[in-house]
Amino acid sequence: MISIRNLCVEIGDFNLKNANIDVFDGEYMVMVGPTGAGKTVILESIAGLCPLTGGQVLLRGMDVTGLPPDKRRISIVYQDHALFPHLSVQENILFGLKVRKVEKKEQERMLEKVVSLLSISSLLHRSPPTLSGGERQKSAMARALCVEPDLLLLDEPLSALDPKGREDVQEKLVNIKRSLKLTTVHVTHDFEEAIALGDRICVIGEGEVKQTGSPEEIFRRPDSEFVARFAMARNIFTGVTVVSKEGEGCQFRTDGVTFSAMEGVKEANRAVVRPEEVVVSVNPLEEGKMENVFSGQISGISDKGATLLITVDLPPPISILITRREFMHLNPVMGMMAYVGFPASAVHLFHENTL
Amino acid sequence: MKTLFLLLGLVLLAFLTVPVAKMVLASDPVILIETFLDKEVLAAIFLTLYAALIATVIGFIFGTPLAYLLAKTDFRGKRFVEGLIDLPLVIPHSAAGIALLFVFGRNYFMGKAFGAIGLKFLDSLGGIVIAMLFVSVPFLIDSARDGFQKVDKRLENVARTLGATRWQTFLRVSFPLAWRSIVSGNILMWARGISEFGAVIIVAYHPMTAPVLVFERFETYGLDYARPVAVILILIAMTVFVMLRLLLYRGEDR
């Protein structure tokens, strides 16, 4: 297991405060957060490439905070691949084994292993500048894996790729995850990427760890407005919990409407309803089927390609994500009266510290 | 605008090339060959190339690590150190020669120290080398520093995480990626060393380097005797300079 304890880093204006993160053996942890949130700094701190102002990095219980990067057995793959431009792909892949003076036979065995895992045998004698984005990223991953690290760090490995390269590299990442069971920390600003790949997700923002949990937890049960917004929850309401008893259902009042919720959270002042959990109809909805049924005027229609976002003013405004087929069936127009409904289980309450 | 800029540039190019071209083209080939066969001229040219080469090797050994430190580390007083390195570019070279005498003269501390092991600087090859080194080493350090600065920090980071020590990272990543700038700096330093006159004439009038010989012949016999030596010096320096640059750029094309 890798444990980061009270990690503090200060670089220029950037300030990371008391970050605590645990990554279990064989786990694929995705660290997600907006650009400039400090994700790369955390990776470089784990690798020993960034000076710490405080805290510890523990690798399998051993404090490695004072160890130089070459003694940690932690590999890093950067967003822009960082292949050595003066070496061929094969020389790049074997770099780590050569500097460690590993026997030639072992070098050949490892080369064959990573090359077949990433399907890059045709690239071995190519020079990095002649490769496509996806090919470069796969070569950089092969180089990182060739030294058999205890921990693999991936810094936005898909961000600089075109959609085809992205799909290809993502598939390879899933392959690596399944076959090697290697402890991995992958950072990204893309929440969908985090959901698709992560065993667990750690949300970083404003120089601190905001929430760590399974994709399901982060997606459905954010514990702050920051995480809810980052998880594209869209419908975040400010209000008060009217009846709240631990373990029982409760009600949440916001802007003149009251939502029924399953969870009872004391002093909850925020409610989140994911837009894909809400149904919309031009005909009245049956009240018995869902605990929360409202009506209002359609105040916005936003085309997202495969899906559309409809906004209905209850008031307050609530966004509903529907498929294009549903849209054709519904045929909504601005100003039209619409009925919306969602179950109490779709309402997630939490307390946002507003101090 | 483009036309005006081109015209201004052409005027400057003409200013730089016409005097040199005129001097070369106006020379009588027979006199040039005679001069080339003159043992004193040959010895002066060989000494100039050789001394500049020694100065460049010393500059490379001591200057490359300093260039690396300046490119890759931040420390208090870094700007001051960079200013110190460029000092020889702004002080008159005759003054630099006098300053060197105050350190390497036989009655001064470095002169005495080296004198104890039989190395003297006044009127010797050693004097020519230190004069050339002093005035030309900024070219090497500045160029090498720019080269190291262009090496992406992440390439060095990756090398470290793959198991390379600082030394291995320097030798296998930073140096090979900066070598073109380092070689370019070496060529510049060597070329600048060859052309040095002011500092050399103060520290070591003898043995005579080619620029000193040109001056001596001009002073003693006049322009007609100085010119062939100058032309031969220019031709040799230009040939070597162009060959090295071509070698460097051919590598880049690959």
Q: Is residue A346 part of a domain?
A: yes
A72: closest chain B residue by CA: B161
pLDDT of residue B254 exceeding 50, the answer is no
CATH code at position A175: 3.40.50.300
Strand partners, A298: A312
Cβ pair B103, B109 in contact under 8 A: yes
Q: Measured between beta carbons, which residues in chain B are less than 8 angstroms from residue A96?
A: 162-164
Give the closest residue to B144 by CA, choosing from B108, B188, B104, B114. B188
Q: Is residue A355 part of a domain?
A: no
Q: How far is CA A333 from CA A47, A67, A302, B42, in A?
A: 54, 63, 11, 95
CB atoms inside a 10 Å sphere around CB A324? 13
Q: Is residue B21 part of a domain?
A: no
Report percent pLDDT > 90 for chain B.
64
Which of B74, B157, B160, B162 best probes binding to A when mutated, by most A CB atoms within 10 angstroms? B162
> Residue A245's pLDDT is what?
57
Q: Is residue A144 part of a domain?
A: yes
Among A205, A228, A251, identify where a domain stops: A228
Which of A44, A78, A83, A84 best probes binding to B when mutated, by most B CB atoms within 10 angstroms? A84
Among A171, A206, A228, identify where a domain stops: A228
Q: Alpha-carbon distance B188 to B143, whole Å?
A: 9
User: Do A139 and A268 belong together in one domain?
Assistant: no
Number of compact structural domains in chain A = 2
Q: Which residue has 């230009």 as its token pair?
A: B238
A231: contact with B, CB 8 A cutoff = no
A147: closest chain B residue by CA: B162
Domain around B72: 30-253
Phi and psi torsions of A203, nearest 5°:
-95, 125
**Residue-wise over A166-205: b if at least 16 C-beta within 10 A, else e?**
bebbbebbeebbeebebbbbbbbbebebbbebbebbbbbb
Number of compact structural domains in chain B = 1
Q: Is residue B14 part of a domain?
A: no
Q: Chains A and B: how many Cβ contacts under 8 Å?
A: 64
Q: Alpha-carbon distance A260 to A252, whole Å?
A: 6
CB atoms inside a 10 Å sphere around CB B187? 21
B155: contact with A, CB 8 A cutoff = yes
CB contact under 8 A, A44 and B160: no
Q: Is residue B170 part of a domain?
A: yes
Q: Identify the segments of chain A with pLDDT beneath 70.
A: 243-248, 263-264, 354-355
CB contact under 8 A, A78 and B154: yes
N- to C-terminal Cα separation, chain B: 36
Q: Is residue A189 part of a domain?
A: yes
B165: contact with A, CB 8 A cutoff = yes
Q: Is residue B55 part of a domain?
A: yes
Distance from CA of A43 to the nearest CA of B (A): 12
Q: Please report the residues numbered 80 through 119 in chain B whose beta carbons come closer than 8 angstroms to any beta carbon of chain A.
A: none
Q: Is residue B17 part of a domain?
A: no
Among A228, A248, A280, identify where a domain stops: A228
* DSSP-derived pairing of the beta strands A54-59 and A2-11: antiparallel
Residue B172 pLDDT class (50, 70, 90 cuts): very high
B161: contact with A, CB 8 A cutoff = yes
Q: Measured between beta carbons, which residues in chain B are less than 8 angstroms from residue A86?
A: 176-177
> Residue A244's pLDDT is what?
52
Q: Is residue A265 part of a domain?
A: yes
A100: contact with B, CB 8 A cutoff = yes
Q: Which residue has 């509903």 as its token pair?
A: A320
Q: Is residue B196 part of a domain?
A: yes
pLDDT of residue B252 exceeding 80, the answer is no
Q: Alpha-carbon distance B106 to B121, whole Å?
A: 8
- Where are any strands of DSSP class E within B79-236? none
A154: closest chain B residue by CA: B158
> Residue B83's pLDDT is what?
93
- Which residue among B164, B172, B176 places its CB closest to the CB of A70? B164
Q: Is residue B25 part of a domain?
A: no
Sign of CA dihedral B120, B126, B131, B133: negative
Q: What number is the average pLDDT over the span B187-213?
A: 92
Angle at A272 between CA A267 and CA A275, to 5 degrees: 170
B177: contact with A, CB 8 A cutoff = yes
Q: Measured between beta carbons, which residues in chain B are less than 8 angstroms from residue A80?
A: 154
Q: Measured between beta carbons, which residues in chain A are less than 8 angstroms from residue B176?
A: 86
Q: What number is the average pLDDT over the span B248-254?
A: 61
Q: Is residue A140 part of a domain?
A: yes
CATH code at position B159: 1.10.3720.10
User: Do A193 and A244 belong together in one domain?
Assistant: no
CB contact under 8 A, A95 and B177: no
Q: Is residue A333 part of a domain?
A: yes
Helix axes A39-47, B153-161, angle to 10 degrees: 40
User: Is the peptide bond preceding residue A34 cis, with omega within 30 degrees of 0?
Assistant: no
Q: Which tens digit of pLDDT belongs to each residue from A4-47?
A: 888 888 877 777 888 888 999 999 999 998 877 778 888 998 99
Q: Which tens digit of pLDDT belongs to each residue from B138-152?
A: 999 999 999 999 999
Domain around A191: 2-228
CB contact under 8 A, A70 and B172: no
Which of B161, B168, B174 best probes binding to A when mutated, by most A CB atoms within 10 angstroms? B161
Cβ pair A314, A340 in contact under 8 A: yes
Instruction: Kindly report the average pLDDT of chain B as a whole number.
Output: 91
Q: Alpha-carbon distance B133 to B88, whole Å?
A: 10
> Which tokens in the block code for residue B111?
């002169």
User: Do A37 and A151 belong together in one domain?
Assistant: yes
Q: Is residue A86 part of a domain?
A: yes
CATH code at position A313: 2.40.50.100
Q: Is residue B18 part of a domain?
A: no
Strand partners, A261: A250
